[in-house]
């Protein structure tokens, strides 16, 4: 993406705040023109102070009164300008942050699974922050800078066109310096921002898994790797900072040149009698004010650059392909009978290797389908496809005769209650977590669900019962307890179909029996899919699918499969073979 289009896109986010923007522009015009009018008044006053015994106090007094009002009004509008730009910036940045976050919720699983989370978080936290800094400073200063330049030129031309012309002639020098610097620092900033993301991803990975790092005495190696990335960050950091910090002294130098030229030429004109000393004073102030915006704009180049490369990274995220959208014709399926049919389904995570090929399966309403098979045989993949976490490459999956690709994703997913092996709870109370799928659940419903999931007893033992806060990552309760909460969460929603993907593998068998009973109760009459290693939990399934390498190699109920003396039989008996 080109820089100009990044800028354009950034600016388009300010559209909802047009009124603020208008207010800011008006404030800027008033405050800047009054600020610029000040030196003229000062110049006029100085002209009235000619020398010893030649001072016109009355007129000076009048001018100073006007000057006083000018200052007061000008500073008032400076204040409104600053408030308005802050508000615009913060609101805009908030919108961008929200847009980026909302985007996460639409990204395909492939993106989320294959990108370092630290890197994505860094986009939403650090990059947005950088855009905010750049935008705040850039917006205010670019904007006021431009107005100042234009108005100063107008005022100068009105006093002395020739001197104004001299000033204008020096302008390209300012622009040249500014563009030279930005060209050199731009590349370095991109590099810096990229390396920073890499570093942040690395920290996330290492600190998030401190236990493993400790257990394997990996600390030193990890520190060394960190240092390596960090030293690369140093290299590009020094370069980018140096280049961008050239801006200030260079423009100050140009400023000095303008100041000197105005002083020299102004004095010569005064000698010739064309302008007054007050005019020179006024011009000198302008000379400072005129180059100041260039100074400032190049001064914020550093921040603007960072903001640009950050904005680019954010827009890249926003431009990622979303999950397939629902079509307008997509059906919102509220209820279902529970007939499911896979026909000729093919799927692969990466193009080189087909995982599932020509998969066919018919499930009758109310059946319990157990899926077993060695690890890597594609069990979880079937769930991913059924929930449309990943889209199939070819073939169809139908629920009650409707292809799932014709359903809205939300309604499809609402048809299933899912319990996964990896437990996920969020920072909030236990109550919040159980009612995750049904925000308006009553207290009784929540407790009832917890009881069904055998979670009630341990919850009551916690210091604050249902109001106990689950800390980040749920480190204050055990893995098994977390799983019970995840089960309670599904129990509460009472979905028409169930998917249990190793749902009880981190729970002890005594509790499991209890939960299994609860599952059996809610599975009654509902189509359910169970993935399990413990074959004990699937004995009663109506159909057991034995998967291997993405293919069904055996199919039937427990007894049928045992009598086939095939792979299932082998699997089943191996759990009793102890040696």
Partner 1 sequence: MLKIARFLENYKKQVILGPIFKLIEAIFELIVPIIMAKIIDIGIQNKDVSYVLKMGFLLIIIGIVGLSCSLVCQRYSAIASQGFGTTVRNELFSHINTFSYKEIDKFGTPSLITRIINDVNQLQFAVAMLIRLVVRAPFLAIGAIIMAMILDFKLSLIFLITAPIIVAILYIIMHKSIPYFRSMQKKLDNISLITRENLEGVRVIRAFSNQKNEEARFNDASDDLSNTAIKVGKLSSLLNPLTYIVLNFSIIAIIWFGGIRVDVGYLTQGQLIAFVNYMTQILLALIVVSNLVIVFTKASASASRVNEIFETSSSIIENTSNELDLNYKNNTYEEALDLNISNKIQPLYTDNRSSKSIDNILPKIEFKSVSFSYKDSEKYSLENISFKIYPKETIGIIGGTGSGKSTLINLISRFYDASDGKIFIDGHDLKEYPLSQIRNKIGLVPQNLVLFAGTITENIQFGNIKATNEDIKRALEIAQSSEFVDKLPEGYDTPLDQGGKNLSGGQKQRLTIARALACNPEILILDDSFSALDFATDAKLRKALKNETKNNTTVIIVSQRIATIKNADKILVLDDGNLVDIGTHNDLFNRCDIYKEIYLSQNKLEKEGN
Does 318 sit near partner 1 (CB under 8 A)? no
* CA–CA dist 113, 442 (Å, integer): 35
| 145 sits near partner 1 (criterion: CB under 8 A) | no
CB of 248 to partner 1, least distance (A): 8
Q: For the CB of residue 4, give the shortest distance to partner 1 in the complex, in Å.
A: 27
Residue of 4, 51, 329, 444 interacting with partner 1 (CB under 8 A): 51
Integer Cα distance of 70 and 39 in angstroms: 11
8-state DSSP, 326: P
Q: Which stretch binds partner 1 (CB under 8 A): 13-21, 49-57, 147-155, 356-364?
A: 49-57
Is 230 a binder of partner 1 (CB under 8 A)? yes
Name the one range near partner 1 by CB under 8 A: 156-164, 215-223, 335-343, 359-367: 215-223
**What are the backbone dihedrals phi and psi of residue 344, each rounded to the nearest 5 degrees, phi first?**
50, 45
4, 58, 105, 335: residue in contact with partner 1 (rule CB under 8 A): 105
Quote the CA–CA distance of 132 and 141 in Å, as a whole number.
14
- CB of 5 vs partner 1, minimal distance in Å: 25
What lies within 8 Å, CB to CB, of 512 at 6+ separation is 504, 537
CA distances 266 to 42, 261, 352, Å, are 17, 8, 76
**b/e per residue 71-98 (b: at least 16 CB within 10 A):** eeebeebbebbeebbeebbeebbeebbe
- 351 contributes a contact to partner 1 by CB under 8 A: no
Does 325 participate in binding partner 1 (rule CB under 8 A)? no
Please give the DSSP secondary-structure letter assigned to residue 346.
Answer: E
Pairing of strands 497-501, 416-419: parallel
Using the contact rule CB under 8 A, the part of the chain among 103-111, 150-158, 338-346, 443-451 near partner 1 is: 103-111
Collect contacts of 70-76 with beta carbons under 8 A, ≥24 apart.
70/34, 70/37, 70/38, 70/41, 71/34, 71/38, 73/30, 73/34, 74/30, 74/31, 74/34, 74/35, 74/38, 75/31, 76/31
Q: Which residue number, 120 or 164, has a Cβ lying nearer to partner 1?
A: 120
Q: Is 375 in the site for partner 1 (CB under 8 A)?
A: yes
231 belongs to the binding site for partner 1 (CB under 8 A): yes
Q: Among residue numbers 395 through 414, which ones bind partner 1 (CB under 8 A)? A: 409-411, 413-414
Residue closer to partner 1 by CB (options 316, 570) is 570
Q: Does residue number 284 form part of the binding site for partner 1 (CB under 8 A)?
A: yes
Say if CB 73 and CB 34 are below 8 A apart: yes
Closest separation between CB of residue 348 and partner 1, Å? 13
Quote the CA–CA distance of 357 and 360 in Å, as a whole number.
9
Of 489-528, which residues contact partner 1 (CB under 8 A)?
A: 493, 502, 505-513, 516
Measured from the CB atom, is 343 or 566 closer to partner 1? 566
Nearer to partner 1, 162 or 212 (CB): 212
Side-chain half-sphere CA neighbours of 564 within 13 A: 18
160 forms part of the interface with partner 1 (CB under 8 A): no
Would you give the binding string for partner 1 spanning residues 55-94, x where CB under 8 A is met? Answer: x-x--xx--x--xx--xx-xxx-xx--xx--xx-xxx-xx
Of 157, 159, 535, 553, the one binding partner 1 (CB under 8 A) is: 535
**Rule CB under 8 A: is residue 173 a binding residue for partner 1?**
no
Angle (CA) 250 253 254, round 5°: 90
Binding residues among 422-461 for partner 1 as defined by CB under 8 A? 424, 426-427, 436-437, 439, 458
At how many degrees (to 10) do helices 247-272 and 219-245 cross? 10
Q: Is the dihedral of CA 317, 319, 321, 324 positive or negative?
A: positive
CA dist 250 and 399 (Å) reads: 69
Choice from 5, 158, 179, 221 touching partner 1 (CB under 8 A): 221
Given 486, 488, 497, 530, the residue binding partner 1 (CB under 8 A): 486
- In whole angstroms, give the CA distance from residue 169 to residue 165: 6
Question: Minimal distance in Å, beta carbon 2 to partner 1?
Answer: 27
Q: How many residues bind partner 1 (CB under 8 A)?
A: 184
């Amino acid at each position: 993406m080109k820089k100009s289009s990044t800028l354009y896109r950034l600016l388009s986010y300010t559209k909802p705040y047009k009124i603020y923007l208008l207010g800011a522009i008006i404030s800027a015009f008033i405050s800047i023109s009054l600020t610029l009018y000040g030196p003229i008044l000062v110049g006029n006053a100085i002209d009235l102070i000619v020398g010893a015994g030649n001072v016109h106090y009355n007129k000076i007094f009048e001018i100073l009164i006007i000057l006083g009002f000018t200052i007061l009004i000008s500073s008032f509008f400076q204040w409104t300008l600053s408030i308005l730009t802050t508000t615009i910036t913060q609101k805009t940045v908030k919108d961008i942050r929200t847009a980026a976050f909302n985007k996460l919720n639409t990204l395909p699983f492939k993106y989320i699974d294959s990108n370092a989370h630290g890197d994505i978080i860094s986009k939403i936290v650090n990059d947005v922050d950088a855009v905010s800094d750049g935008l705040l400073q850039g917006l205010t200063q670019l904007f006021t800078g431009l107005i100042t330049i234009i108005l100063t030129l107008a005022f100068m031309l009105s006093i002395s066109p020739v001197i104004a012309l001299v000033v204008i002639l020096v302008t390209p020098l300012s622009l040249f310096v500014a563009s030279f610097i930005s060209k050199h620092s731009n590349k370095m900033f991109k590099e810096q921002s990229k390396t920073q993301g890499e570093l942040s991803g690395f920290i996330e990975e290492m600190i998030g898994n401190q236990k493993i790092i400790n257990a394997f005495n990996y600390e030193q190696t990890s520190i060394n790797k960190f240092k390596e990335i960090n030293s690369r960050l140093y290299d590009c950091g020094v370069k980018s900072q140096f280049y961008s910090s050239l801006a200030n002294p260079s423009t100050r130098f140009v400023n000095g040149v303008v100041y000197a030229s105005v002083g020299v030429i102004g004095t010569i004109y005064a000698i010739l009698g064309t302008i007054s000393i007050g005019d020179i004073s006024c011009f000198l102030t302008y000379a400072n004010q005129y180059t100041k915006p260039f100074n400032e704009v190049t001064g914020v180049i550093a921040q603007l650059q960072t903001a640009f490369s950050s904005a680019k990274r954010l827009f890249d995220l926003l431009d990622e392909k979303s999950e397939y959208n629902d079509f307008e014709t997509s059906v919102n399926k509220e209820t279902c009978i529970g007939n499911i049919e896979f026909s000729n389904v093919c799927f692969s995570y990466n193009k080189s290797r087909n995982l599932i090929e020509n998969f066919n399966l018919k499930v009758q309403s109310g059946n319990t389908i157990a899926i077993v098979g060695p690890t890597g045989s594609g069990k979880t993949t079937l769930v991913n496809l059924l929930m449309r976490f990943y889209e199939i490459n070819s073939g169809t999956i139908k629920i009650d005769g409707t292809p799932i690709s014709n359903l809205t994703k939300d309604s499809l997913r609402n048809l299933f209650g899912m319990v996964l092996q990896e437990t996920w709870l969020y920072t909030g109370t236990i109550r919040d977590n159980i009612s995750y799928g049904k925000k308006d659940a009553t207290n009784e419903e929540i407790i009832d669900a917890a009881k069904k999931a055998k979670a009630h007893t341990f919850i009551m033992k916690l210091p604050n019962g249902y109001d106990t806060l689950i800390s980040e990552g749920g480190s204050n309760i055990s893995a098994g307890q977390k799983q019970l909460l995840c089960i309670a969460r599904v129990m509460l929603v009472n979905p028409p179909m169930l998917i249990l993907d190793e749902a009880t593998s981190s729970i002890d068998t005594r509790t499991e029996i209890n939960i299994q009973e609860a599952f059996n109760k809610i599975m009654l009459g509902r189509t359910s899919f169970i993935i399990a290693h413990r074959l004990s939990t699937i004995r009663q399934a109506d159909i057991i699918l034995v998967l291997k390498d993405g293919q069904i190699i055996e199919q039937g109920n427990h007894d049928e499969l045992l009598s086939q003396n095939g792979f299932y039989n082998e699997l089943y008996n191996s759990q009793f073979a102890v040696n």
